[in-house]
Amino acid sequence: MFAALQRFFAQRSLLRWVALVALLPTGCYPPPPQYPFTPLVTERRSTLQENLLALLPEETRKLPAAQQEARWLADTAYQAAAAIARINNSNFPGWAGNALINAYIQDRGLCWHYQHDMYRELRRRKLSYFRIGCCVRDKSELTEHNCVYISAAESHWPEAWVLDAWMWNGRLKVDRATELDAERWQDLPEICDMLAISYQEEHPYPSEYWFSVRCNDGRYIISSANQARQSEQYHRMYENIQKGRKEHPGKLTNY
């Protein structure tokens, strides 16, 4: 996927690059810490909670524990999305950000980066009524797009709500999976199996930790590998973790 994207952008005309640069000053910067608590987003958090509860059987959704779990997921989704964008220092949304990353101008903020990071944040609590999944649109194509989703614990894709933190650069976009193009979108259980090895429920990883980092030769490898420690991105991650320990001492997240 990454090699294909690099070829795609390399083949674009100079005019396209000039247009991209012209748009940079109007970039969608990461949302500030207070963003998830604005009246608009507070309302969206409540709406997501209601939508998640609607996935459950009628009797189950009335349980206080189920309502609390749905509330935690909704609040965490919006807060984590904004926090991830700030940690990534991803100053431009969507495909504009991807272009900068593949041109080595910016080193983090691809859609699957957001997918991995959102999965990490939503696995901080043991869930009884819901589960976290991963999904993809147009797998292995130039328009591939990766997200996470939330479904009821016993249900299957596409009975879920898709959470997209990448498209609007930390300003969460939420879609009902059943209303997406079924021929383009699909479940990605293999990605969950991979991420769950590190991000078990109630895991202790800080919000600055990245599952994978880009080596100096352009390859992405798991950040726990010895070779990863030689990369500039690993050192940046380590610096972020050290900074985070000072900014939110005794707390794993920056939100």
| Kind and range of the H or E run holding 220 | strand 220-222
Residue 24, pLDDT score: 42
Q: What is the DSSP-derived secondary structure letter of residue 149? A: E
Amino acid type, 31: P
Please report, for the chain, the start and end positions of each structural domain, with discontinuous segments joined by +.
2-197, 204-255
Residue 28, pLDDT score: 67
Contact 218, 233 (CB under 8 A): no
Contact 79, 73 (CB under 8 A): no
Residue 23, pLDDT score: 42
* Integer angstrom CA distances of residue 41 from 23, 110, 116, 137: 26, 24, 23, 26
Residue 103, pLDDT score: 85
- 113: which 2 tokens? 């980066």
pTM for the predicted model, two decimal places: 0.88
Residue 26, pLDDT score: 37
pLDDT, tens digit, 9 for 90 and up, residues 183-238: 999 999 999 999 999 999 999 999 999 999 999 899 999 999 999 999 999 999 99
Low-confidence stretches of the chain (pLDDT < 70) are: 1-28
Using alpha carbons, select from 225, 232, 239, 20 the residue that is nearest to residue 107. 232
Contact 170, 85 (CB under 8 A): yes
Q: Give the chain's end-to-end CA distance (angstroms, integer).
A: 32
